[in-house]
Structure 1
Amino acid sequence: MTAAPARTPDEPGATGPDGAARAVPAEARQLLRVLGALLREDVAGLRTRTTLLHRADGPWLRLATGPGHALLLPVREDGFQSTWAARSPLLRREPGGGDLTTCESVLAALAGLAAPEDASGYAAFAEECRSDLAARHLHAATRDTVLTRLTNSHGPRPAHWHGHAGTLAHDTLAARTDHPVHPVPRGRKGLGERELRSYAPEFHPRFALRWLSLPAELVTSSPATDAPATDGIATGPAAHTGAASGPAPRTGPDATPRTGPGTFTAAGGVRLHDGWPTPAELGLPAGHHEGHVLLPVHPLTAAGHLHDALARTGLARHAILAERPLLDAVPTLSMRTVALVGRPDTHLKLPLATATLGLLNRRTVTPGSLRDGAAGQLLLAGVLRREPRFAGRVLLADETCYAHAGHELLAVLRRTMPAGLDDAVVLPLAALLAPAPDGRPVIGHLADRFHGGDRIALADAVLTLLLDWQTTLFGHGIALESHQQNISLVLGGGTEGPRLLLKDNDGPRVHTRRLAEAWGCAEPTGEGLGFTDRRICVTEDGPLADLFTAITVHLCAGSLAFGLAAHGAAPLDRLLGLIRDRLTEAIDRTAAVRPDAAAVLRARVLDAPELPVKAMVTAGTLLTKARSGAADINKHYTTGPNYLLRKA
């Protein structure tokens, strides 16, 4: 019988080492995060239209709202993406001194200062806050049960949760932690307690998939090859469809092997349908397999918006949803992606009609994103061929096997994780600071096993490789949206030092001229690289530098440093100095071969007085794209202080 997991000091009902109550109610902790985000993103002018006041209890920011009226926010110094953060969970009205102490009341007050056309965005964000709070209470109520389930299945020590099956346990821990930027990350639009318990990664559930049968000629597949084009650029996947109106199949190295109706084979030999149930096992009519394709469907989609998707595409009369669910799966950290039970190296990315980290951040899977992800993988493979020092140290998931029926809810990506990691520990960077079952951060357990208990030595090794790789990519004209959830750390397994595992490479920014210079070829087009999203390929450094900073520096490196400091691992200035030193070394290496690219990073990251910061609430919920001007809600920025300039 496994003992109940230890509680961590910041959980409701927890106490500090002296036994004194240290808990802050979940509502108050949420409001602190929300106020901090609103301040960082300058909502209603909280950052740029306020006056700093010094009072006996500390600093306040005063926002004038009319003659003789104001809203006041108590603040403290922050430094991570914002100069100030909320000090107390309240917004105070003047005159009268009435305190607003709930997210609803704060947002209502700020909505009164906004343009009328933005009112719906504030209401939507208030709903996100309610959903997040409900999820937090559910997490607290189920914590012991879930962690006991993990320890019973994998053991009590996360540093010994091996292979891709162990990754799923680490995903559960990571799903119960907060996002470094978004203040209310735990809710999911339209999903209640029953749906979360049944399908969300923080509960580590197991469920069977649903299956949709469609005529093969109505399904498009675009597996890719890693064969380079003659100009040295790895070309993207060619689209293939059996429909008469679709593009003709290409021939040559990019042609897709077809082994029968609806059977699609990726370059690595993995077939889309390998290991899937047969029509007979699903109870479909005899002979139904002839000329038909089976697509897996997430149970939430099957029970919800699938009918509408089929109706909108005109496929309703051609499709059959099998009544019998088959093939058990477990959700990964990205809820829409599931790993197959018994084959945890096989992931299926299945669209969901929900949203996380913002109302506009929908969890569907567009056909174009499938092709872009495969093209991004091939581009990275091209870099690895040209940078042999990363061989075996940077690993890529295979995302070249997928299919869709022309709708964002009728799609599947079959991701194959790298082989040979059964004895390694593989976990997302987001899990490093997550509390383990004994209450200690996971990074402490990993340091005990791999670095003699030295958490800073482990962090140093990770940062050295991470910054070297991402800076090298920048020299090739590439910046990735490889944030802390889709870049994984690989430790052990017979290899000295850390390795990185990358997946979900469908949202990069590519400076085509710089790529051509690095690869010694003609400047490619986005289409030539295989990308469908016209925003990916750019002709200037700004979009790459912004993405590099917001993702690699803030979400991967900076959040780790500030988190380790909060856990008492080392003084913050020492940890930030470590990031600066390793980034400087990486930029110096890049300067030897790509001096122009290195100069950009030095000017826009190391020495810049301010750095770009993701404005996730503004772009994701509060404002429409037309109002925010965000071409991409995940790449819309405000600014914050450059903590890399801090002196120890």
Structure 2
Amino acid sequence: MSAMAGLHSVGREPYLAGRVLNALIREDFAGMASRLERGRDGVAFALASGRRVRLAPGGLFQDFSVSPEVTLTLAEVLETLEAVATPADASGVAAFATECHETLAALELYDRHGAQALERARGPIRYEALAAAVDHPVYPTARCRLGVPAEGLLAYAPEFAPAFDLRWAAVPRERVTLAPEAEDFAGPFPGLAEVGLPGRLADTHRLFPVHPLALPMVTGIPGVIVAGLPYLRVRPTLSMRTVVAGERLHLKLPIPTSTLGLRNRRSIKPATLRDGALAERLLRDVLSEEPDLPVVLADEQIHGHAEHEYLGWMIRRLPPGEIVPVAALAAPGVLPELAARFYRGAVRSLIRDYLTILFAWNVRLFVRYGIALEAHQQNLSLVFADGTMRLMVKDNDGLLAAPDRLGAAGLAVPGFADERMLTDDPHSLADVFVTITLHLAAAAIAFAAVEDAAGLIRDTLDGALAEFGEHPMARLLRARTLDAARLVGKSMVTAATLVDKERSGARDVNKFYGTSGPNYLRFPR
């Protein structure tokens, strides 16, 4: 299809192409922002073809974004990306093009099957499916699961609300490491006979759950015996590699794909299971000192691995109550529905209470303990029980903590295997607070939900900071948020796909900054 023919495209492609171009301009990949042209008619972006694309001021996280009336094709955007990229980034550019095309296919697949999928979804899984169908606020190709074909998405992706049976493998016991809490845990796991394996293996092997997508990876591991019979019907949660495995039980399993970029693999590094458990214990220590906070942690202490990225698992035990992922609040109809059931129809009151809890928790963590959580809208949930709403936090292996602040608060510094989880740089902590807590957990939800979201966020964040007066950490956080002219952003596409770590210098592709946008709290548009 030619670029001009693509101007008449309908459907998902112009939407996706616009999101991709917005991300590239925001991150200023290879100097993309230098292609902006200002004239009497406003601001335009010069594509490689010579076409000028009209830009509009704003967009929540950037200065200019593709104007709503503009129709783009992926071919036009990717042609421009190739034109500006250096030869050293050619493989990253090609990988990102694949992400774009797989994302478009996934979006079109959902258009064909999503409505029927939601008709099948009942109970808590419905909110997981709805949340999975909400596009990421910043990463344009988040609906891509690299290498998973259409039939795999229909069978295993949460937005399609499928159910499927797990596979199992017997792993030699000498390779297995279990958390102490997992030693006597049987949970939903089968016996050897139930998966077609001889009982004599009980003395030498231990059963591991295997996601069907990972079966080809596990089958080739020497000494591992793949069971012939499936066992345990499960359904995927918002996180595709985590499935509902029983009453208030989630099971996290590795799968051979990447999301949010080529380098964000969905396998499980063995050390992250222990690090996540240590981080959870640290947060439990904090909560014991802060009993007034309506925050609850998912229990993620039960896990096991066999020193292989596709032989690992983690059980998540959930608290009582009705649990709704925060990401689902951005799905059509969810907020009015929850407000009608729990807030007498007052959507703004629900959002205000959510923001109040969110900032009270995260500001105290930051100021008093030197902790910043990578708890974005997909790692947070609302828990409704006994007439109250609490905030549930899960998946803590990405947090950042300052040893000096922990020590000053009387808390032991966890022995994380991943040294990147510790820093004494308060600005690094602030970067996480702004890009995760403020941008994704607060702004992306509130701006889509209520009028004057900026004012509501300002008031609740100011209230949380006011508790600490002129405390140096509170002053720093106020300077980086409420008083800042611009807010830091992450260069997610650049670090996760387009540029390899050696060239980008990113120690962690999920904590790579270098971009900024207008402070929507001071200058809302």
Structure 2 alignment gaps of length 5 or more:
1-8
Question: Could you give the per-residue CA deviations for residues 349-387 of structure 1, whole angstroms, max 9, x where no partner exists?
Answer: 110110011111110100111011001100100100111
- The one-letter code of the counterpart of 2:143 is R
Partner of residue 601 from structure 1, selected from 471, 477, 482: 477
C-alpha distance in 2 between matches for 1:177 and 1:388? 34
Question: Could you give the per-residue CA deviations for residues 586-622 of structure 1, whole angstroms, max 9, x where no partner exists?
Answer: 0111337xx1210110111111111111211111111
1:325 correspondence with 2:201: no
Aligned to 1:260: none
Instruction: Indicate if the aligned counterparts of 2:238 and 2:378 stay in contact, CA closer than 8 A.
Output: yes
Matched residue count: 515
Identity of aligned residues (%): 43
C-alpha distance in 2 between matches for 1:559 and 1:647? 13
1:75 correspondence with 2:55: yes
Task: Report the secondary structure of 2:418's partner residue.
Answer: coil
C-alpha distance in 2 between matches for 1:89 and 1:190? 33
Instruction: Indicate if the aligned counterparts of 1:29 and 1:89 stay in contact, CA closer than 8 A.
Output: no
1:481 correspondence with 2:374: yes
Aligned to 2:6: none
Aligned to 2:327: 430
Instruction: Indicate if the aligned counterparts of 1:201 and 1:335 stay in contact, CA closer than 8 A.
Output: yes
Task: Report the secondary structure of 1:640's partner residue.
Answer: strand
C-alpha distance in 1 between matches for 2:426 and 2:90? 36
Task: Report the secondary structure of 1:581's partner residue.
Answer: helix
C-alpha distance in 1 between matches for 2:487 and 2:143? 27
C-alpha distance in 1 between matches for 2:414 and 2:52? 51
Aligned to 1:158: none
C-alpha distance in 1 between matches for 2:387 and 2:189? 33
- Of 450-459 and 378-387, deviating more is 450-459
The 5-angstrom pairing of residues 120-159 of structure 1 reads 120-150=91-121, 154=122
Partner of residue 632 from structure 1, selected from 504, 508, 511: 508
C-alpha distance in 2 between matches for 1:185 and 1:136? 10
Summarize the Cα distance change of 1:327–1:62 in structure 2 as closer, same or farther, 3 Å threshold: closer
Aligned to 2:5: none
Q: CA offset at residue 628 of structure 1?
A: 1.6
Partner of residue 40 from structure 1, selected from 8, 26, 42: 26
C-alpha distance in 2 between matches for 1:547 and 1:397? 21
The 5-angstrom pairing of residues 548-563 of structure 1 reads 548-563=433-448
1:503 correspondence with 2:428: no
The 5-angstrom pairing of residues 305-320 of structure 1 reads 305-308=217-220, 310=221, 316=222, 318-320=223-225
C-alpha distance in 2 between matches for 1:432 and 1:599? 31
C-alpha distance in 1 between matches for 2:393 and 2:524? 33
Instruction: Indicate if the aligned counterparts of 1:181 and 1:614 stay in contact, CA closer than 8 A.
Output: no
Partner of residue 273 from structure 2, selected from 367, 370, 379: 370
Instruction: Indicate if the aligned counterparts of 2:114 and 2:159 stay in contact, CA closer than 8 A.
Output: no
Task: Report the secondary structure of 2:447's partner residue.
Answer: helix
Report the TM-score when normalising by structure 1: 0.77
1:387 correspondence with 2:253: no
Aligned to 2:3: none
Partner of residue 463 from structure 1, selected from 355, 377, 390: 355
Aligned to 2:44: 60
C-alpha distance in 1 between matches for 2:173 and 2:481? 50
- The one-letter code of the counterpart of 1:577 is G
Aligned to 2:499: 623
C-alpha distance in 1 between matches for 2:472 and 2:433? 16
Task: Report the secondary structure of 2:381's partner residue.
Answer: strand
Task: Report the secondary structure of 2:419's partner residue.
Answer: coil
- The one-letter code of the counterpart of 2:126 is A
Partner of residue 179 from structure 1, selected from 113, 136, 139: 136
The 5-angstrom pairing of residues 388-403 of structure 1 reads 388-390=291-293, 393-403=294-304
Q: CA offset at residue 346 of structure 1?
A: 1.2
Task: Report the secondary structure of 2:323's partner residue.
Answer: strand
C-alpha distance in 1 between matches for 2:150 and 2:36? 40
Higher helix share: 2
- The one-letter code of the counterpart of 2:24 is L
Task: Report the secondary structure of 1:488's partner residue.
Answer: strand
The 5-angstrom pairing of residues 100-115 of structure 1 reads 101-115=72-86
Instruction: Indicate if the aligned counterparts of 2:250 and 2:315 stay in contact, CA closer than 8 A.
Output: yes
Question: Could you give the per-residue CA deviations for residues 221-276 of structure 1, whole angstroms, max 9, x where no partner exists?
Answer: 2x3xxxxxxxxxxxxxxxxxxxxxxxxxxxxxxxx37xxxxxx33xxxxx443231
Task: Report the secondary structure of 1:170's partner residue.
Answer: helix
- The one-letter code of the counterpart of 2:112 is A
C-alpha distance in 2 between matches for 1:272 and 1:74? 59
The 5-angstrom pairing of residues 3-42 of structure 1 reads 25-42=11-28
- The one-letter code of the counterpart of 1:551 is I
Instruction: Indicate if the aligned counterparts of 2:32 and 2:84 stay in contact, CA closer than 8 A.
Output: no
C-alpha distance in 1 between matches for 2:401 and 2:236? 31
C-alpha distance in 1 between matches for 2:291 and 2:510? 32
Higher radius of gyration, 1 or 2? 1
The 5-angstrom pairing of residues 178-577 of structure 1 reads 178-221=135-178, 223=179, 256=180, 264-265=182-183, 271-302=184-215, 304-308=216-220, 310=221, 316=222, 318-340=223-245, 343-390=246-293, 393-418=294-319, 420-421=320-321, 425-435=322-332, 441-475=333-367, 476-491=369-384, 493-496=385-388, 498-519=389-410, 529-564=414-449, 569-570=450-451, 574-577=452-455
- The one-letter code of the counterpart of 2:455 is G
C-alpha distance in 1 between matches for 2:69 and 2:498? 20
Q: CA offset at residue 70 of structure 1?
A: 5.8
Instruction: Indicate if the aligned counterparts of 2:118 and 2:160 stay in contact, CA closer than 8 A.
Output: no
Summarize the Cα distance change of 1:62–1:280 in structure 2 as closer, same or farther, 3 Å threshold: closer
Instruction: Indicate if the aligned counterparts of 1:296 and 1:350 stay in contact, CA closer than 8 A.
Output: yes
- The one-letter code of the counterpart of 2:420 is R
Instruction: Indicate if the aligned counterparts of 1:28 and 1:89 stay in contact, CA closer than 8 A.
Output: no
Q: CA offset at residue 32 of structure 1?
A: 1.1
Report the TM-score when normalising by structure 2: 0.94
Q: CA offset at residue 344 of structure 1?
A: 3.5
